[in-house]
Amino acid sequence: MTSEEVFFKWMPEYSVNIKTIDDQHLELVKILNRLFIAVSKREGDKAIAGILDALTSYTKTHFALEERLMREAKYKDIVPHMEEHRKLIAQLDELCNKHLLEDKPIYFEMLSFLKTWLKEHIQGVDTKYSAALQQSGFSVARWEKEASAEFALMSESKRWWEVWKAA
Ligand SMILES: [Fe+2]
């Protein structure tokens, strides 16, 4: 990917100060960038459907882990946060179904919607829970150790994603 093709550039201020969560957010940014390239280069329905699939399943796994973290840390605002996740998943599913079933093209508006959503979600509600967890003295490091099996599975699942990366 050349520099002028970067659609969503990761900035240090997107960090929530939890390494595993930052890594997963960065992965989502990479998938969006890959989708942008596929759409720009008109790579065809099969390639785009595959990337959309990667985006949806990675997002679901990431949300599930984030929710587990918030639950285990007894974070007080978990309910509205989960609601934001649920809505986005519903929108992503709808987007995928439209594309796959009705064979509609993926529009650039969808890409900018996803970019804005992710940026605002990370800098808004994700930053809030990470700050609250750190203030409450919850050991994120210990949690990361306990959830290491799930993290390993997530990097495993990145293998099939490598196929799509080579733009
Ligand atoms: Fe979140």
**79-114 tens-digit pLDDT:** 999 999 999 999 988 888 876 666 666 668 789 899
* pTM reported for the whole predicted model: 0.88
Cα 95 to ligand 1 centroid, rounded to whole Å: 20
Alpha-carbon distances, residue 87 vs 20, 90, 141, 164 (angstroms): 23, 5, 29, 26
Spell out the domains of the chain, with CATH numbers in brackets.
17-162 (1.20.120.50)
- Residues around the ion ligand 1 (C-beta < 5 A): 66, 126
Cα 160 to ligand 1 centroid, rounded to whole Å: 24
Cα 94 to ligand 1 centroid, rounded to whole Å: 20
